[in-house]
Amino acid sequence: MVPGEDGHGGQRSPHGLPELCSSGMLLLDQQARIVHVNREAEALLGVEAAYLLDQDAHDRLHRDRHGHTIPRSSCPLQRAFHSSRPAQGQLGWYERGDGTLLPVCWFITPCRISAETDGAMVLFYPGAPGGGTAEQERRAEVTLPELDRLALLAEATTSLTSTFDVHEALHRLTRLLVPRLADWAVIDLLTEGDEVWRAAVVHHEGERLVDRKDLQGPMPPLPQESVMPLSRALRGAASTLAVPETYQGPPDAGIAVAQRKLFEATGMHSAAIAPIRGVREVLGALTLGQAERAERFSDLPLLEDIARRAGLALENARLFQRQRRVTETMQRHLLPQLPREPRLEMAARYVAAPEASEVGGDWYDAFFLQDGRLAVATGDVLGHDADAAAAMAQVRNMLRAYAWSYQEPPSAIVDRLDQAVQHMTDASLATLVFARVESDTEGRQGGQVRWTNAGHPPPLLVTHDGRARFLDSVVDPLIGAGFPASRQDAAVDLPPLSTLVFYTDGLVESRGHSLGEGLDRLSEHAAALARRPLDTFCDLLLDRVRPTDNDDDVALLALRRPARTP
């Protein structure tokens, strides 16, 4: 694909928004700075986009009819921006590149401009000139519905394409359409097994939207011979209108009976139904119905445009979730079953990344060595995709092989692994803690752990009385970094009933907080849970410590020494 194109011949901004309309369009960040300008805006303003980007929109453009800068407190577009609500203006003036004034009508709406940033989109087009007649003002008002239409389509695109979750996409779609276009929105989806599922029925009541879950759920099979509007739409036929009388005659299939019940339950006097098409197949149907409003919704081209955008978003979400399930299943099968060790309790957890991300290279392991001692490890291979999961399997298996073959300290085993990773695997970088359970200083089996750390978050030791400390005395370079290093070992005694926690960085890292704050949170909650059963300890620790804005996998392995060790 040519850089800057969306695959359909249209130019795409750095934030992924295609050029959707012939009106001028500006994208503003949270500080009202201009971050994107479409070609029509360049033509209307007589200036190249480069001279507008990163400029304060108010200072650079907004003027009164005499060309003076408007005070921010009296600028309607500025007030609309800070209100974070859609608004439109009948007439205003923008300063063009040559200093002349461009009379404009404008529309502004909040929108997502990147994965992490909200902002606003401004659409504008030439309006009646300053001092114009009432007839000119009236013409500007008549043109506004077309501007609203373009704004709705742009908002639908940005809203639907910014999520890979099917349920979230449906939620956004219904909130976008009700009550702006209709009193009711109904979405029927075809499942991968060709069943029909009524996925959403949303109604506008007063100032709130109500999800009618009692009207959702499985539908009768889709008949190939039915001529009823919903059946035709689910087979990919063109959009059409329906009224209660459409379904009053003898039903030609069970799905027609379900539609009759829908009209009766909702009180809709008219509905417009359009197919939701993906690139490869029909995914479902979108219905917009009127009940409280007297007028019918009859803008079928607009409905089809919205349904087309919904189809592309839903297909992308389905493909993403299908690939995610395959990758996650592969990774779960790569993770080991914990061996039975009478001298220690063990529990492990693996949690995949949130739905906006792919699974990656986080892992844990526990296995017996030739001499009968237990080896444990947690690690993280760089990346968040199937390649990272595959590289993780390579690193884990090589670690097992070296640990079994060489009766050496953990640091020496990891040094061998480091050399091999650089020359024999697809892994680029990896962090790792590798430990071996040994006798303590008094000769009791399972009472001591000797470990080495290759750039990984430090293990946490929690005693039965609630004291917690990180084992951070040894941290050597990452695996695969290419640094010549003399790796070190460290050892710690495990008091009876103490818990040793190994984990990956997804448990403590967050975009909203520092790593230090995450480690403090882990230490505090682990200390508070010190006397809980080990499985409960792990579940509650994940629930309480894992950040809500986490975008990484989490692997967790906990060891607990019983009260008495043979």
Domain count within the chain = 3
Q: Is there a single domain that holds both residue 119 and residue 219? A: no
- Beta-bridge mates of residue 484: none
Q: Is there a single domain that holds both residue 181 and residue 308? A: yes
Q: Is residue 331 part of a domain?
A: no
**pTM > 0.75: yes or no:** no
CATH number at residue 251: 3.30.450.40
Do the bridges between strand 62-63 and strand 34-37 make them parallel or antiparallel, or are there none, so unpaired?
A: unpaired
Report which of 173, 183, 176 is spatially closest to residue 203, judged by C-alpha positions: 183
Q: Is there a single domain that holds both residue 81 and residue 216? A: no
Domain of 173? 166-325
Cβ–Cβ contacts within 10 Å for residue 456, how many? Answer: 25
Q: Is there a single domain that holds both residue 204 and residue 121? A: no
* Burial class of residue 242 in the structure, from the number of CB atoms within 10 Å of its CB (0-12 exposed, 13-18 middle, 19+ buried): buried
Q: Is residue 3 part of a domain?
A: no
Q: Is residue 15 part of a domain?
A: no
How does pLDDT run along the chain (566 residues), one tens digit per residue? Answer: 333 333 333 333 333 333 344 678 899 998 899 999 998 899 999 999 999 999 999 989 988 877 888 877 778 888 888 877 777 776 788 999 888 888 888 888 888 777 677 888 888 888 755 444 334 433 333 233 666 777 777 788 877 877 777 888 888 888 888 888 889 999 999 987 789 999 999 998 877 889 999 999 999 999 888 889 999 999 988 888 888 988 888 888 899 999 999 999 999 999 999 999 888 889 999 999 999 888 887 788 888 889 988 888 888 888 777 766 666 665 566 667 889 888 899 999 988 776 544 556 788 999 999 999 999 999 998 866 667 777 888 888 999 999 999 999 999 999 999 988 887 766 678 899 999 998 765 656 668 999 999 999 999 999 999 999 999 988 898 988 777 668 999 999 999 999 999 999 999 988 878 888 999 999 999 999 999 999 999 999 999 999 887 778 899 999 999 986 55
Q: Is there a single domain that holds both residue 395 and residue 474? A: yes
Q: Is there a single domain that holds both residue 390 and residue 257? A: no
Report which of 375, 371, 313 is spatially closest to residue 338, judged by C-alpha positions: 375
At 430, list the tokens.
């990896």
From 290, 325, 360, the end of a domain falls on 325
Mutual angle of helices 134-160 and 300-334, in 10-degree steps: 20
Q: Is residue 136 part of a domain?
A: yes
